[in-house]
């Protein structure tokens, strides 16, 4: 263990373990929006902090597209902590001295929750593209089953960014009675044509890889090239022009020219590294299924978002980032305006940042101030109402 890890363990949550919940055993399988049924379903999840007797301090934190259940703390032998560790822990935005925080891997994922790479019990081999199509509402209904299992009837809050923000919106639409407050970060109620276009290019990169083999690659070489290119495309959208200029400039890289048409710039090396490292931790079929679900999602169900918010009693905090061009602030403002028309108690802040969409993982100080103050107002001095 490094000195940095030792310090982090003492100051933060410390070591954590992923837990698993399995439900929907046949014949009581889980109904999906597609009309198909799925089961059994295993959900990977982690919890941080201690629940009050009545779970009135429970906060659900859905993850973004490539995230997982490991939101905070350290796994034994890991090189880095959970993906939102700087926001979750003692004295942090989601203060685990006060709150009980839950994070689960989404349905269709590849980090412990049932997805295309899971074994199909009927066939005895990975589902591949025999896995049924899934939606954001399907993911949220699975989360609701997990909360039922944990004994949580109502959440103090639910908070998430990017795809996690879509899940937050879906909770507000499908389970308004189970949510006291919500933190919606850098997301959209439905994707724009540009957002869909970027995801489609990523999907096509995977489908064009000869090793994809119509999703049946689990007993051989996976579609490494296609998935890495998809991740390279995605990663460009997570940054901003300013952040890339500051991080790379036009400096030359250390790996020279990877191919005859490369220019040898550092930014090229970086994208190749990001693409290849992603292949080691993510499944190409999960990429296809989850991006389709993200693109298909519409919180307003084809109508007006304000109409589906009419019965909402939760308080909302909505955050966006000035340099985020993947989920630009106008999409957050659309949600804010829908809340105001529906009479929902909503606060909004556009945070000045040069990090682009990645800002929701990097702009810790200002988010901590805003989220801490918001949760304190909702939670008050103790038990939930």
Catalytic residues: 162, 324, 357
The CB density around residue 376, as the number of other CB atoms within 10 Å, is 12
Strand ordering across the sheet containing 41-48? 19-23, 41-48, 100-104, 58-60, 157-161, 181-185, 315-321, 346-351
Residues across the chain: 385
Backbone angles phi, psi at 358, to 5 degrees: -60, -10
Closest CA to 183 of 101, 74, 275, 276: 101
Q: Which string of DSSP letters, residue by residue, matches 286-332?
A: HHHHHHHHHHH-BTTTTS-HHHHTTT---EEEEEEETT-SSS-HHHH
The CB density around residue 220, as the number of other CB atoms within 10 Å, is 8
Which residues are CB-contacts of 12 (< 8 A; sequence separation ≥ 6)? 72, 73, 74, 81, 85, 89, 90
Tell me how many helices (H) and strands (E) the chain has: 12, 14
Cβ proximity of 66 and 282 under 8 Å: yes
* Residue 367 token pair: 């988010």
């Amino acid at each position: 263990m490094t000195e940095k890890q030792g310090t982090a363990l003492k100051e933060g949550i410390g070591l954590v373990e992923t837990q698993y919940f399995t439900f929907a055993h046949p014949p009581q399988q889980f109904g999906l929006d597609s009309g198909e049924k799925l089961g059994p379903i295993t959900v990977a999840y982690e919890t941080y902090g201690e629940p009050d007797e009545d779970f009135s301090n429970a906060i659900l934190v859905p993850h973004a597209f490539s995230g997982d259940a490991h939101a905070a703390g350290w796994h034994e032998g890991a090189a880095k902590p959970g993906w939102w560790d700087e926001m979750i822990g003692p004295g942090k935005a989601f203060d685990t001295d006060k709150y009980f925080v839950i994070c689960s891997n989404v349905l269709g994922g590849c980090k412990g929750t049932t997805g295309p790479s899971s074994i199909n019990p009927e066939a005895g081999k990975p589902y591949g593209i025999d896995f049924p199509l899934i939606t954001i509402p399907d993911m949220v209904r699975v989360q609701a089953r997990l909360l039922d299992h944990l004994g949580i009837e109502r959440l103090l809050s639910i908070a998430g960014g990017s795809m996690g923000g879509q899940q937050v919106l879906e909770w507000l639409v499908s389970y308004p009675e189970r949510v006291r407050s919500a933190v919606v970060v850098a997301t959209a109620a439905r994707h724009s044509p540009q957002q869909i276009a970027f995801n489609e290019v990523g999907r096509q990169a995977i489908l064009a890889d000869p090793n994809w083999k119509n999703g049946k690659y689990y007993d051989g070489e996976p579609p490494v090239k296609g998935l890495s290119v998809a991740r390279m495309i995605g990663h460009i959208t997570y940054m901003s022009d300013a952040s890339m200029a500051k991080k790379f400039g036009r400096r030359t890289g250390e790996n020279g020219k990877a191919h005859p048409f490369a220019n040898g710039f550092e930014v090229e090396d970086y994208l190749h590294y990001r693409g290849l490292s992603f292949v080691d931790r993510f499944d190409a079929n999960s990429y296809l299924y989850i991006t389709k679900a993200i693109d298909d999602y519409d919180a307003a169900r084809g109508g007006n978002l304000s109409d589906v918010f009419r019965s909402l009693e939760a308080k909302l905090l909505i955050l966006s980032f000035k340099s985020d061009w993947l989920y630009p602030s106008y999409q957050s403002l659309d949600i804010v305006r829908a809340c105001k028309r529906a009479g929902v108690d909503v606060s909004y802040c556009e945070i000045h940042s040069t990090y682009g969409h990645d800002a929701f993982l990097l702009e810790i100080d200002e988010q901590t101030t805003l989220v801490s103050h918001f949760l304190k107002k909702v939670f008050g001095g103790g038990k939930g109402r």
